[in-house]
Each structure stands twice: as structure tokens, then as C-alpha cells.
Amino acid sequence: MTGDRALILDFGGVITRTLFETHDITERALGLPTGTLTWRGPFDTASDPLWVSMQNREITERDYWMARTAEVGRLVGEDWADMKTFVQRARGAEAELVLRPEARDAIARAKAAGLRLAILSNELDLFYGVEFRKRFPLIDLFDVIVDATYTKILKPDPRAYEQVIAAVGVPRDACVFVDDQLKNIEGAEAVGLPHVHFDVTRPADGYARALSMLGL
């Protein structure tokens, strides 16, 4: 039986496609010319020195995305003060557009096998909004959602991981945590939580490794 095991996923980048991967959708939604958005984060670090600064921990992930939010807002002649505005304007009402196909397959497989499913996010509702989350495909399959929008405890604070471990109700060595940010993986390592450092450029590999660690 697998009911005594848990798959714990970050949301942005792991369950969703990154904003780097959906520039074409963003440009269409905002009426921007094709090719306006050139920053590509991990897909082309040379195009994105601000991303490199974040990876070097000179700025935080929230700092990075707030800078991009303000930048894109200016492109459409508006003053955007929060990431939620960016996400909702860029992706509209179609939550399906941002779901990773690899995430859909892995989540469905894990659920069918009886695994506990959890989300551990620093900014799920802060960035995406409550209504977006409610519409998001497969969200009802998750047993636990721990969102720092409300807890105010951000990864890699050890308390964030302890919260989700307690909530899923299985031993930490029976869990696998998946995140695309190295600092969050280091946080998991510090509390002895098995983990997969998710490469957004190779999503199928990350999910295959996580499921394999859980016996699937």
C-alpha cells in the first residue's frame, strides 16, 4: 500500500508552467507584439541577468517577480503593484493553460496509487489568487495545501517543512518534496526531508525521479 507515503510539490514552476515558457500566451493576452518579452530565466540565463542575481541570492524570488510585474505593467501603460495582477492578466481565466502536462500525469498517477498529495508554496494565493486556485485543474486531488500567503512562513524556513510533514500525517522519510529552487531544496535537506531538485527544463525527469523514490 502507498497510503503511508506522500508527494509534496511546490506550485509555481513544478505544477505550473513557468511564465518564461508562456511568453507567447502573455503577449497575446496583453496585446503586446510577438517577441516583446525576452527574459527567459533558467531557459536562457544570458537573457536574464536579474534571474542570475536571484540564483546568486542577491535578491529574493519575490523581488525578482515583483520587478518583472512592474516591468510588464509599464509595457501596457499600467502600474501593477502585485504579482497576482501579472499572473491573472497574463494568463486570463484559463487556468488549464498553465498546468504542466507532466504534472497532470504524475499527480493523477500518485493519487490513483493512494499517495497523500500536498502543496507547499511560498505564494500560491499571493501570486495566483484564490479564484484562480479554485479553478485550477486537479486542485481537489490534494489532501493538504500549506501556503505562506497565510502562514507567513517562507521556505527555506525549517518550520514550513515541518508544517507540511505534520499535515500529511506520514513520517518524513516516507515523503518526497519537489521544488525548482535550490535554496528550498537545501531547506528540505536541512530537516531530513527526501527531495528532488526539479529542473523546469526537464520536467518529465523530475517527476519520474520523485515517483520512483515513492515506489511507483
* 48-71 tens-digit pLDDT: 999 999 999 999 888 999 999 999
Confidence of residue 82 (pLDDT cuts 50, 70, 90): confident
**pLDDT-derived band at 92, boundaries 50, 70, 90:** low
Mean pLDDT across the chain: 93
Q: What pLDDT score was predicted for residue 1? A: 43
16: DSSP letter: B
172 pLDDT above the threshold of 90: yes
In the predicted model, what is the mean pLDDT of residues 7-17? 96
Burial string for 94-128 (b: 16+ CB within 10 Å, else e) reads: ebeebbbebbeebbeebbebebbbbbbbbbbbbbb
Lookup result for grid cell 508544517 = 163
Q: What is the pLDDT of residue 127?
A: 84
- pLDDT, residue 153, reads 97
Nearest to 198 by CA among 21, 11, 4: 11
pLDDT score, position 192:
98
Q: Which CATH superfamily is domain 6-16+99-213 in?
A: HAD superfamily/HAD-like (3.40.50.1000)
> Would the pTM count as exceeding 0.85?
yes
Residue span(s) of the chain under CATH 3.40.50.1000 come to 6-16+99-213
pLDDT at 62: 84
* Contact assessment for residue 179 and residue 209, using Cβ atoms and an 8 Å cutoff: no
Confidence tier at 132 by pLDDT (50, 70, 90):
confident
Element of type H or E holding 8:
strand 6-9
